[in-house]
Amino acid sequence: MKLRSAVPDTPTPIPAPVAEVGRLQSLVVRLAVAYALLGLSVLGVFAGAFWLTTGKRTLDQIDRRVNVRETILEDIFQRNGLAALVGKIHRRVAQIYDSGDIFLLTDPAFKPIAGNLRSWPKTLSRQPGWDILPAGKRPDGAPIRVHHMLLSNGDHLLVGVDLGFYDSVRRLFFIGLGSTAVVLVLFGMGGGFLVRRAIIARLDALNQATVAIIGGDLSHRVAVRGRGDELDLLAATINRLLEQIKQLVEGVRNVSNVVAHDLRTPLSELRARLEDIVAHRPPPAETFVGVEAALRDTDRLLQLFNALLRLAEVDSGARRAGFVRLDLAKLVEEAAELYQPLAETKALHLRFKCLSPLYVKGDPTLLAQSLGNLVDNAVKYVPDGGSIRIQAEAASADEVLLEVSDNGPGVGPDEVDRVTQRFYRGDASRGTHGNGLGLSMVAAVARLHGAQLRLEDNKPGLRACLTLPRA
């Protein structure tokens, strides 16, 4: 069976610089267009509402002017008769200069009697009511708002007011509206391009960092200008991400090297034993002794791989699904009872202190394993007759402190940051059984639980403090 390579057959495409992105494809330009359209929509809604109210009010004022003129003429007719009405219309017509207002009095057959129209307009209905003359006598051809009224003697009275002022106001309104829309679009698009030019350098820096990482330069970082804006926060986050990626890649590289180095010796020993058995064909008793030694070597290899698998599972975050509310004090009590017999074999004084309950939320198995690793290290390295203390207490209203301290050789200041690395073994651990993954597991479990692991000098000895969020 062939195994497929984990390395892709084709290289990962390198993203293009931000400056090479088309303007129409630019997010900033699309946002500028969207805001310009939004501004136009708001302007349209506002202008429509404004014109509906203002235009209606203007027409109402024109209609009131027409009604006032009709009322005056009708009152003259009722008081003084037709002749007085005709005289009044003649005088009003004589006073009209450049206005498009009209007055027309006709008999029941629509034959003109008085006014400034020679005949009844063909476009007007002959039924009383409001109407519009599409083009008046003014040079600009402004329409006229007219009202047809039937007098008590059967004559027809037509009074109209020129809409030239209304038309000019409407024309100026729409010219202003169009100009505002053009300015809004120009400012929106211009502002979008200016903003694009302003942030393109910052985005190019982010893009270049990505390109550098793809190219293998894990030391490249995005420049932070110190302005505290959103792009600075994004750059800082990306830098932390790049630092984490660098640490993970270096960790994988180191782990690969150390695993290869650590596996060489037990595999060589295993092969030598089996080769000796095959070559010399010893008696069954000696053969079984060699097989048992080979099994022990195999068990050590399996333990190593199982530890690596547990670390990978913890680092992946898959164990968060098993988080429950648990009492940390009970874990301390159980760990003390478990390691008490082993401590007695070295005449160690193992003490524990906990104030129950101390509730945290986490994986009980992982927390118990981490506590066991800390206690196991203390039992392993503290000399005979030494002391170990396990303590759990409330550090604050939001945190619980788990502490394992001893009076052993401790960890040197130059090794504090390295003892949590996988397979690292300090000078004090030379010659002791182990694979250098105990504190690595504790650190991984701490990260999984959002906790903080601190290794401090106990003067003498080591104090390992694990601060967990309180449930």
Residue 295: give its domain's CATH number.
1.10.287.130
Q: Within this chain, do residues 155 and 260 fall inside the same structural domain, yes or no? A: no
Residue 100 is encoded by which pair of tokens?
A: 């498009």
Cα 373 to the center of its chain, rounded Å: 39
Where a domain ends, among 285, 316, 347? Answer: 316
Residue 8 lies in a domain: no
Domain with 244 in it: 230-316
Note whether residue 381 is domain-resident. Answer: yes
Which pLDDT score is estimated for 97?
A: 64
- Taking only the tens place, the pLDDT of each residue in 151-202 is 988 999 999 887 777 777 778 888 888 888 888 888 877 777 777 776 777 7
Cα gap 112→105, rounded to integer Å: 6
140/91 same-domain check: yes
Residue 223 in domain: no
35 in any annotated domain: yes
Residue 426 falls inside a structural domain:
yes
Q: Is residue 371 domain-shared with residue 405, that is, in the same domain?
A: yes
Contact (CB, 8 A) for 102 and 160: yes
Output the pTM of the full model. Answer: 0.46
| Cα dist from 248 to 241, 243, 366, whole Å | 10, 9, 21
Q: What is the CATH number of the domain that holds 421?
A: 3.30.565.10
CATH code of 126's domain: 3.30.450.20
Residue 460 preceded by cis peptide, ω within 30: yes
Q: Which region, left, alpha or beta, applies to residue 167 given φ > 0 means left and ψ of -120 to 50 means alpha? A: alpha
Among 420, 349, 402, residue whose Cα is nearest residue 378: 349
In-domain check, residue 131: yes
442 in the same domain as 298? no
Q: Which of 212, 238, 264 marks a domain boundary?
A: 212
Domain termination residue (choose one: 293, 316, 339): 316
Q: Same domain, yes or no, for 336 and 394?
A: yes
Tell me how many degrees the CA angle 272-277-280 measures, rounded to the nearest 5. Answer: 115
| pLDDT tens, position by position, 270-324 | 788 788 888 888 888 878 887 887 887 787 777 666 666 666 666 655 566 667 8
Is 281 part of a structural domain of the chain? yes
Convert the pLDDT of each residue in 420-446 to its tens digit: 766 666 655 554 555 566 777 788 788
